[in-house]
Amino acid sequence: MSAFQVDLRFPIKVYKEDPFVYTGPDFRSLPMGLISDTLNHEGRQYQRFYPFTVTRSTVGGAVEDVLFCFMFAYINDDDERGIYLTRPIPLSSSSDATALDALIKEAKRLATYLGSSTVEIEVNAEVSHYDAFPTSPSFLSYSKEGKSTFNSDFYGGLGFKEVTSLICLETRIEDLYPLLKDKKIDSSRYDTFTESPTEYKEIKNYARNFPLRSYELTHNDEALGLYSLPFFEDSCHTVRKQTGIILKKRSPKAYFRWIPDIFESALENRSPTPLLFYQELEKHRYKIGKIYDWAFSERDQNLMYLLLFQAIRYMKDKGIERIQFSNVPKANKYILELLEALGFESVSRTLIFRGGIN
């Protein structure tokens, strides 16, 4: 019998050990330790969220929490049910590969019940500098200044294979601005716009098949979409071909959406549910703005330069000093090289592993 057991329970210690922000469905119920959202697929209804807490009995007979993660079900782009585990959080010095193995086994058991053939798990591979919100393609973003996760080699030993590596990069706005000014930007063919929330949804849907775009876990599950993140004023920008007609917009060639670092407000107020206090979010003076959703229709550096100019202009107006660019797949060398040439440096690398349930 395993020394570890898995409970479906949300330990209060998680709030203290690894600050996080949850932005998914039913976020108002999270302080009570539960999320009541369900997943409807192929005529059946499933509970979407499962808080996994790995425990062990101590010598004195007490129960000790040693490891935690959220598991949730979602619909992937192949219209299949997928299972995703957020970054496992050690809650005790006794957390080790054996505890992780117990968690994985329980996840696979639940995946079988839910009719999923695979389990995916998120891992922090490198964190060289502070990583602003959001830090995950899932509903749950942890502050990566918290405890480090298990070494990624552990997951390979459990039969998981890496499916993607996501890079987040950063630079200072005061360093980026003169570099952009020195570029010979051809703006004669394009106009830049700042878009509304409604326009953003239309743009995102239109750009779904652009060849250069930020990573998303799925495009097929609205609950996991990026629409649930708070939409700050002047935070979505597009480049469109000029029409020669005032106020007439053509289809977008590229877009950015960015968000201030909500962690700054959440950590200051010690709240994992900052969306409950959106009016306070708007008042906060942020230091970092993060571009996390983006797409380009073609390899044209002018599109990147124009969008960055537009974004940092509004960021500077809000007092933001640093800009991060995230969800860049490691395989997308064109975007990485373009950003690095502008002085961006990597601050973190997130791996997503996938394993079968057998």
For 234: left if phi > 0, alpha if psi spans -120 to 50, otherwise beta; the answer is left
140 DSSP β-pair partners: 22
Residue 146 has a pLDDT of 47
Would you list the DSSP string of 170-225? EEEHHHHHHHHHHS----TTEEEEE--HHHHHHHHHHGGG-SEE---S-SS-GGGS
Residue 37 has a pLDDT of 75
End-to-end CA distance of the chain: 20
Residue 226 has a pLDDT of 58
Whether residue 292 contacts residue 259, with contact meaning beta carbons closer than 8 Å, is answered with yes
Q: Which domains does the chain have, with CATH numbers?
A: 4-168 (3.40.630), 169-347 (3.40.630.30)
From CA 321, how far away is CA 302, in angstroms rounded? Answer: 23
Which residues are CB-neighbours of 59 under 8 A, at least 6 positions away? none
- Using a 10 angstrom Cβ sphere, with 0-12 exposed, 13-18 middle and 19 or more buried, the burial of residue 319 is exposed
E strands, the chain, are: 4-8, 20-22, 38-41, 44-47, 49-57, 63-75, 81-85, 89-90, 118-127, 140-142, 161-172, 190-194, 212-213, 236-241, 252-260, 288-296, 322-329, 345-356
| Chain-centre distance for alpha carbon 311 | 20
pLDDT 10s per residue in the chain (358 long)? 468 888 888 887 887 777 778 877 766 666 555 566 778 888 888 888 888 999 988 877 788 898 998 888 899 889 999 899 998 888 887 667 788 888 899 999 989 988 888 899 998 888 888 999 999 988 888 876 644 556 667 777 778 899 999 999 999 999 999 999 888 787 778 889 999 999 999 999 999 999 999 999 988 887 776 556 788 999 999 999 876 555 556 789 999 999 999 888 877 766 666 665 677 788 888 999 999 999 999 999 999 999 999 999 999 999 999 999 999 999 999 999 999 999 999 999 999 999 988 7
192 DSSP β-pair partners: 239
DSSP tag of 245 = S
- Residue reference for tokens 């993140």: 229
For 39: left if phi > 0, alpha if psi spans -120 to 50, otherwise beta; the answer is beta
